[in-house]
Chains A and B, each alone.
Chain A
Amino acid sequence: MKILIKGGRVVDPASGQDKLGDVFVSDGRIVDSFKDKPERTIDAKGLVVAPGLIDLSARLREPGYEYKATLESEMDAAVAGGVTSLACPPDTDPPLDEPGLVDMLRRRAKALARARVYPVGALTVKLQGARLTEMAELAAAGCVAFSQANTPIADTQVLWRALQYAATFGYPVWMRAVDLWLAKEGVAHDGEVATRLGLPGVPVFAETIALGTLLELVRATGTRLHVCRLSSAAAVALMRAAKKEGLPVSCDVGIHHVHLSDMDLGYFDSHCRLEPPLRSQRDREALAAALADGTIDCAVSDHTPVDEDQKQLPFAEAEPGATGLELLLPLTLKWGAERKLPLAKTLACVTSGAARVLGVPSGRIAAGAPADLVVFDPQAPFRVTPEALRSQGKNSPFLGYELAGRVHATLVAGNVVFEQE
């Protein structure tokens, strides 16, 4: 299949190139040009053509939580949001701790033929932090990394051994930095807002102590570590120093945390009940700046569909998480506009930056690269309403907001998998 995407503003975050032109797609790959007539032409005049988004954390809720969302609904949401690759954390039910589960997930995703799905395997059996999973078998089944999702390992001995074992085979480990004991029962940033609202707090040092432990273990083991969902200025500073030191580390931030702070909890808005908790304005500013200066490698949606019943509860009892696949692009554009970044640099944190962490050849527009592409209008308004979201998760702190950025078409491996009617 040959497709010509004609006359768009072609933005390649990997090279920083941003110019008007055509993009040629042939047999699932981007090519320099072709002579024969294209089977399809997509008119991209006035639109941006960019690599499809790569989201390093999107919960598809299968297996186990099909009442919250299904693979179908969430894969639809992904491509409608311009996401062409996504990594899904292992916190399904049962967790992704057996090759059979991973295999089934990949098969189901493949059959749907929408976004590429990269499963992240459980680091320990049932995410219980006690026994290592069969990492080599899980990797053979398609796991790209190993993680504990939101469940930290309390036993530092197990954590050390898990990192050591992963390092043996060169598997990357993706971890959130959170001290189990310090974060226990906490539901909000331990600061003035939580004090005023009477909500149990999670102190910043619940993150930095755990991060210090992780970094020290990276020094000891040489494991490739990706730190998920940074939440505080202090954690950013630790990551900056670790990178300067030359440790094999990378990190991401949830896109909501770039825009919101604990002030947004307002009067107990359970849509702002997120994991990690939204922290202070100062922390938010540090995260937004670190994403721009490259200390943070990429932004993720941390897509978590939650059913309405689980959000219509008192703040502390509400299930944490927000829907995000369809908001990742507009919220990234909003961040870039606020920091006055060039579009190529803005998009890098959800394309080439994420591709580098994932170790995949997508995330760029260059001859030979997979034709995973998004065509979007960066100015078109997108009003966030439950009806506008294809995801089964309608839970968003941005409900009612008008954002900018609307996807016209999404291509995965040279196939048009989404088109705006």
Chain B
Amino acid sequence: MPRNPQLNANGELQHLLSIEGLPREVLVQILDTAESFAGVTERDIKKVPLLRGKSVFNLFFEPSTRTRTTFEIAAKRLSADVINLNVAASSQSKGESLLDTVANLSAMQADVFVVRHASSGAPYLIARYVKPHEHVINAGDGRHAHPTQGLLDLYTIRHYKKDFARLTVAVIGDVLHSRVARSLIHGLTTLGAPEVRVIAPLTLLPAGVEALGVRVCHDMREGLKDADVVMMLRLQNERMNGALLPSAQEFFMTYGLTAEKLALARPDAIVMHPGPMNRGVEIDSSVADGPHSVILPQVTFGIAVRMAVMSIVAGNR
């Protein structure tokens, strides 16, 4: 197996492509750095000069609002120049290849590429071809990984629960198609969370998911029992009626998070969701807006985490 392509020869983060394979120290470094940035976002002048003079290209081959916006804010707070490209609507539709698009942007003196792509592994391909001073940050690739989302989820959990060593985490919903679930699971197992459960019908679980280090439950009541953290996953509209699930209503009945089911978790449990939410499908409004919900703080933390990642991979040292 070749060397982990996200680390340089000194074991430092060159690109952020996946949480899998990152040493615990690197994860902790990112979370600690994010914590130091949390203050910046509350100041009057919300800027630090760590990326001054650098160009960050937001390269989204798949639509996104939240992730793209928080990356943009994070880069601007680091004083970088940010260029947003909605590639889905430009050169790719004219037949330009992924690597040609990247090569052209590289010729415009890019320093960081923030990449979202519908195909698993696309950021790895880009990372293989960029120049040594250029950095790739995966903003979600297919079903594979969404490492900054995973990191902001870890940040959120650490913020509210302090220690990973005694946590029970329940991840609920469409694990099969979820890059968010994969990234969070890798992060939790690396940081030593002893019990990670995935709760889903068999049709929404990938083959051999246990090998990721999780316990599989099909029953919400069993899976939620004494959980400290409940992570709900988004169910895409097109997967609600078909061969995977009969209907959104039945999914809500069996796997939707309601106050009644949440009562089985620990009294101080937190409820997370990567957004965008389908109220009444995977989560009931009373839970999404209720006292256990940390869904909006997740978004805020996302900015600090993305600042941390960009400053670590590309910051002026």
Residues in chain A within 8 A of chain B (CB atoms)? 190-192, 194-201, 203, 263, 266-268, 270, 309, 312-317
Contacts and interface: CB of A to CB of B under 8 A. Distances in A.
Contact of B207 (A201, A312, A316, A317): A201
Contact of A203 (B2, B99, B145, B207): B207
Interface in B103-141: 117, 119-122, 124-125, 141
Contacts of A314: 98, 117, 119-122, 125, 141-142
B144 interface: yes
A317 B121 CA distance: 10
Contact of A192 (B5, B20, B211): B211
Interface in B142-201: 142-145, 179, 182
A267 B207 contact: no
A312 B2 contact: no
Contacts of B121: 197, 199, 267-268, 314-316
B125 A196 contact: no
Contacts of A196: 20, 182, 211-212
Contacts of A317: 119
B1 interface: yes
B208 interface: yes
A196 B206 CA distance: 9
Nearest to A309: B97
Contact of B206 (A194, A270, A313): A194
Pick from A190, A192, A267, A316 the residue with the most CB of B within 10 Å: A267
A322 to B, nearest CB: 18
Most B-side CB within 10 Å, residue of A191, A309, A316: A316
Contacts of A315: 119-121
A268 B125 CA distance: 8
A266 B120 CA distance: 13
Please list the 4 inter-chain residue pairs (A to B) with the smallest Cβ-Cβ separation, ordered nearest first.
Answer: A198-B144, A268-B121, A198-B143, A314-B119
A198 B145 contact: yes
Contacts of A313: 97-98, 119, 125
A194 B142 contact: no
A195 B119 contact: no
Contact of A198 (B1, B4, B120, B211): B120
A72 B48 CA distance: 62
Interface in B206-261: 206-209, 211-212
B207 A198 contact: no
Nearest to B117: A314
Contacts of A200: 143
Interface in B1-57: 1-2, 4-5, 20
Interface residues of B, number: 28
A195 B20 CA distance: 13
A313 B99 CA distance: 8
A194 B205 CA distance: 12
Nearest to A312: B99
Given A315-B121, A316-B120, A192 B179 contact: no
Contacts of A268: 120-121, 124-125
A313 B143 CA distance: 16
Contacts of B97: 309, 312-313
30 contacts: A191-B207, A192-B208, A192-B211, A194-B206, A195-B206, A195-B212, A196-B20, A196-B211, A197-B121, A198-B143, A198-B145, A199-B144, A200-B143, A267-B2, A268-B121, A270-B125, A312-B97, A312-B125, A313-B97, A313-B98, A313-B119, A313-B125, A314-B98, A314-B117, A314-B119, A314-B121, A315-B119, A315-B120, A315-B121, A316-B121
B200 to A, nearest CB: 13
A100 B102 CA distance: 45
A69 to B, nearest CB: 20
Interface centre among A194, A198, A309 (most CB of B within 10 A): A198
Given A196-B182, A267-B121, A316 B142 contact: yes
A199 B177 CA distance: 9
A200 B145 CA distance: 14
A196 B208 CA distance: 9
B2, B5, B99, B207 pick with most chain A CB within 10 angstroms: B207
Contacts of B143: 198-200
B2 A266 contact: yes
Contacts of A266: 1-2
B212 A267 contact: no
A51 to B, nearest CB: 38
A195 B122 contact: no
